[in-house]
Amino acid sequence: MFSNSAKSMTIEYKNNTLSEDVLLDLFRSMLKPRMIEEKMLILLRQGKISKWFSGIGQEAISVGVTKSLLDDEYILPMHRNLGVFTSRNIPLNRLFAQWQGKASGFTNGRDRSFHFGIQEYKIVGMISHLGPQLGVADGISLANKLRNEKRITAVFTGEGGTSEGDFHEALNIASVWDLPVLFCIENNGYGLSTPTSEQYRCRDLAERGAGYGMESHIIDGNNILEVFSRVSEIAESIRNNPRPALIEFKTFRMRGHEEASGTKYVPQDLMDEWEAKDPIFNFEKYLFEKDILNEAILTGIKNDIQAEIEENLQSAFRENPVDVDPSKELGDVFKEFKYQEISPSIKKEELRFIDAISQSLKESLRKHDELVFMGQDIADYGGVFKITEGFIEEFGKDRIRNTPICESAVIGAAMGLSINGMKAMVEMQFSDFVSSGFNPIVNYLAKINYRWGQNADVVVRMPCGGGVGAGPFHSQTNEAWFTKVPGLKVVYPAFPYDAKGLLNTAFNDPNPVLFFEHKALYRSVRQEVPVDYYTLPFGKASKLREGSEITIITYGAGVHWAMEILDEMDYKGADLIDLRSLQPLDLECICLSVNRTGKAIVLTEDSLTGSFASEISALISEKCFKSLDAPIMRVGSLDTPIPFAQQLEDQYLPKQRFRMKLQDLIEY
């Protein structure tokens, strides 16, 4: 490829220890992704693949880092890290099938390029929202550390990604918790078309490590020997003395962000300068000069790689297009969960809602040895609601972990724990704050099982709701943000008995669960609750009252409002349904009731427009239209942010409007 070029080397190689076999292996390992890329660029022009993000000129980083890791150490690559996959010896026929959207790829045609992971090879793919994978690396390494395993995790980002909040959150968590993570920045000069001069002001991105009390290194990303030797040394040190390290690899992107964007915005002299620093050209020259490589060996290596590419490419081409099967698509949104009914004991005690939650948390920690709790102030302080007060005495601070104020990276860390075989609970101090962790929930946790069969064994607890005079940022009931998103389970109990049983089930379920706990119910609602461990199923509503005239459908605090108003009105004609879980939804229970009563009213605390009440109303209209004797009524809060002053909050909340709407429906 390069041996007949007259250009001289521009990279200085220093090697006093590596054997000829290792040097040839490094060369072969860089050449393979380069030759695959050259073939893919041809196929792209022929319309046989849809998109390509080129890593040409950056192979030394992918190969050098991967070769420095142990085979059972996780690595989280980016768009331009084909060398990670080939260095882990991923079967090429499956890689090629992945890029063509075939079933034998890694996502069943559901995602493209490098947006996938493979547990067998300890590779965790990226998503287009680049930042979350940095927090995921934290969680993977946390699992290793808790198990006292001397393993590290390597995660890649580009210089553009270092401007994202997730980058800073992930570095901060890794530093505070002394996690053995290699944060690898591929500084290749441009974020799409934006040069580094317009991305950050520090001289080197490695300088940012100091701000987190983290060691940092700058490595010539085009020098395979420097990458391999230095990363190997850093990795071994971190295995023995767990801590994070930030590594900035200086390199250059020789092609466009993706092929359609081109490189016209790059000055030609800069392209020429970096072309001379090509990692494969220079290393080939070095090996020729050292008599380690000759034309015969080079030809043999090329022929072997070319034959492997062609054989596996033809295998991928021969494969039929992916089957279209709606039931399979829907069936793969969640990891299969076989609910196990554990009946409650006869012995009961009166518990407040908050005590039932706390009791479930303790029982689940005892049941699941590798369950880790994370949240702000949940350790010594016991959380702002004191739900985990006293937990560290029994379970220790390794499992009951205070976190910095960085919801996004904490959710990412929870995902990483799940990837590495553990369970995680994240407590949002208030459900309002989940907006700061929204991206990894809806784009990572929710989609990951559907995309490549990796479940997210994560429970996010969401103290929510109004009626306590806490204003716009501590009072929202924001379940509708998540009921829209396939891949998330949303649970919202109204009673202590349900809260304990459903939360126990949430920790048994291998899928992501958003568990809403209304703050106003924490200390105001009491109930007889079994003292022992028990479970309740998701997707099974509770009928609290029976009548023949009207169906009332609600959940959370709305259940208590409805009961209070029915009592005040002394009205006996209502079926009162407490949904308990919103996703999955007990549509059968709703339809059986509405088909019998002919009238339906849906009550939610959420502001009405776009609320889950609207979805229920639409379902009733579709499924029960012939049985309806009146319009479906929806009652929710005002379409304003939730206010602070009691008079304004009372007006905002739907309790009194529900009374009027219910009376209207009775009289209709």
Give me the catalytic one of 79, 168, 257, 474.
474
Taking the C-alpha atoms of residue 661 and residue 342, their distance in angstroms, rounded to an integer, is 40
CA dihedral 655, 656, 661, 664 (to 10 degrees): 150
Q: What is the dihedral of CA 106, 110, 115, 121, to 10 degrees?
A: -20
- 244 touches 180 (CB < 8 A): yes
Chain centroid to CA 496:
30
Query: Residue 184 — φ and ψ, nearest 5°?
Result: -105, 115
Which amino acid belongs to residue 71?
D
Question: What are the two backbone dihedrals, phi and then psi, of residue 305, each rounded to the nearest 5 degrees?
Answer: -65, -45
Q: Where are the alpha helices (DSSP H) in 177-267?
A: 208-211, 224-240
User: Cα 585–587–590 angle (5° rounding)?
Assistant: 120
Distance of CA 412 to CAs 341, 435, 447, 485, Å? 31, 14, 13, 18
Token pair 């040069």 is found at: 195
Q: Which of 655, 651, 620 is nearest to 635 (CA)?
A: 655
Q: Cα–chain-centroid distance for residue 639?
A: 31
3-state SS of 243-311 is: CCEEEEEECCCCCCCCHHHCCCCCCHHHHHHHHCCCHHHHHHHHHHHCCCCCHHHHHHHHHHHHHHHHH
Active-site residue, 474 included: yes
Tell me which residue of 54, 96, 35 sits closest to 303, measured CA to CA.
35
Size of the chain in residues: 668
Point out the residues that are catalytic: 474
